[in-house]
Amino acid sequence: MYILRHYLIIWFLLCCSLLVGQSSHTFLTYNLLNYEDEDDREDDFITVIEYVEPDIIIAQEVIGTSGYNHFQ
């Protein structure tokens, strides 16, 4: 009985801790398909990013530093 009471107390504390301190973040993962330095797709990227309003953006298939600098 003593062990069961310990487990119930621990379970209750864990449940209470889940209710407090939750925060929400929006992540956007985006495959840019070999994006290097192209202006023709830039408007599409901007439209999607403005619609989602992410806190963190994760981009794949960015080619070199020129693609990275252009996407910033």
Rg of the chain, C-alpha, whole Å: 22
pLDDT in tens, 34-56: 766 666 778 888 898 899 898 88
User: Model's pTM, two decimal places?
Assistant: 0.56
Confidence of residue 22 (pLDDT cuts 50, 70, 90): low
| Summary mean pLDDT of the chain | 77
Reading the block at residue 38, the tokens are 């192209």
Confidence of residue 5 (pLDDT cuts 50, 70, 90): confident
Contact 21, 48 (CB under 8 A): no
Per domain, the residue ranges of the chain are 24-72
Q: State how far the Cα of 23 lies from the Cα of 5, in Å rounded to an integer.
A: 31
Other C-beta atoms lying within 10 Å of the C-beta of residue 37: 13
